[in-house]
Amino acid sequence: MSKLFTPYALGPLELSNRIAVAPMCQYSAIDGLATDWHMIHLGQLALSGAALLTIEATAVTPEGRISAGDLGLWSDDHQEALRPVIAAVRRHSPIKVAIQLSHAGRKASSAVPWEGGANVAPDEAGGWQTVAPSAVPHADGETVPLALDAAGLERIKQGFVDAARRAQGLGLDAIELHGAHGYLLHEFLSPLANRREDDYGGTLENRMRFPLEVFEAVLAAVPGMCVGMRISASDWVEGGWDIEQSVRFGRELAGRGCHFIHVSSGGVSPQQKIPLGAGYQIAFAERIKRDTNMPTIGVGLITEPQQAEHILQSGQADMVALARAMLYDPRWPWHAAAELGAQVTAPPQYWRSQPRQYKALFGETRLGQR
């Protein structure tokens, strides 16, 4: 039996298989509000056959957006803009839906990727003043962020809490806190970005403090809900955040009741040197899974069904998440199930699409034709 298509649970969240659609920024919101693009984009992915669909990085405060086109959840208006999208998904798909809550920190105020993705200065159209653990820019020549004071830390933590409550109010199934890719929570963890000399900087314990405080506050705000975190397991820069520190952080999260850890890498420094290759981050997931005993999601250039199956069969991760591969092929789970001899959920409107050689792909179907 294919392990990829066996049920699995992330804490309280029961899933029909072990495939997740990773969060993928669309840069298509207006003032943080969801648009018809989100209806189309999330709607097609909801029919993919994956067990879990994660809504893109969603800013908890206005200045926490990566770009002016980022999705937000910092007000009730933002909650209401997402509501019809979630309702449509629920009407037509059994997929579970998570949301990734984020603050971009010093990497905020950027142009959208198809306009170059460069930092936008505060005095330019579409730009604003960024904030971070320390007044250290992401790259030379970029905006110098304001170092967060105690009031700023509290404001952002409350932003995460309020956004989490709105996510629960939307009936979402899980929350993933974005602690990866050089955004704010990762910036606190990494000594490359965090130069503070107070209780939130210096030692590993201090650098972990704010991300752990945010996690604890969010978990307490949404009782009964699945809450996990995405991390970058390595900065891929000497002297930066690394796998040993990631294991320590994972253990701290596990001890606080974290339901899963989603293991990515990189993003905090333009000096990173990443050896890209198929499944290049899976060794990190394997180590964290082994040493924290927490449900672990592996991600990163997972493109082939047999590759995903091997990751699970060998115990390197408990689930796999796909991003670009799912954009390229929104029916990837269908094709994986066909290749691995498994079954997948599909809407009845599409039952007639299964090829004859895979007639059991969607289980027992009763089709009439007029």
Helix/strand/coil for 105: helix
Q: Which amino acid is present at 55?
A: I
183 is catalytic: yes
d(CA 264, CA 285): 8
Q: Which of 150, 137, 162 is nearest to 77 (CA)?
A: 162
Please tell me which residue in 183, 280, 328, 350 is annotated as part of the active site.
183
Token pair 């289980």 in the structure block, residue: 363
| E-only strand ranges, the chain | 8-10, 13-15, 19-21, 52-59, 71-72, 96-102, 131-132, 146-147, 174-179, 226-232, 261-264, 296-299, 319-322
Tell me phi and psi for residue 179, to 5 degrees: -110, 30
Phi, psi of 195 (to 5 degrees): -115, 20
Give 200's DSSP letter.
T
Q: List CB contacts of 101: < 8 A, sequence separation 6 or more.
A: 57, 58, 60, 73, 160, 163, 164, 167, 175, 176, 177, 178, 218
How many CA atoms are closer than 13 Å to the CA of 278, on its beta-carbon side? Answer: 9
Cα–Cα dist 347/351, whole Å: 7
Residues in CB range of 365: below 8 A, 6 or more apart: 348, 351, 354
Residue tagged 């909801």 (tokens): 46
Catalytic residue numbers? 183
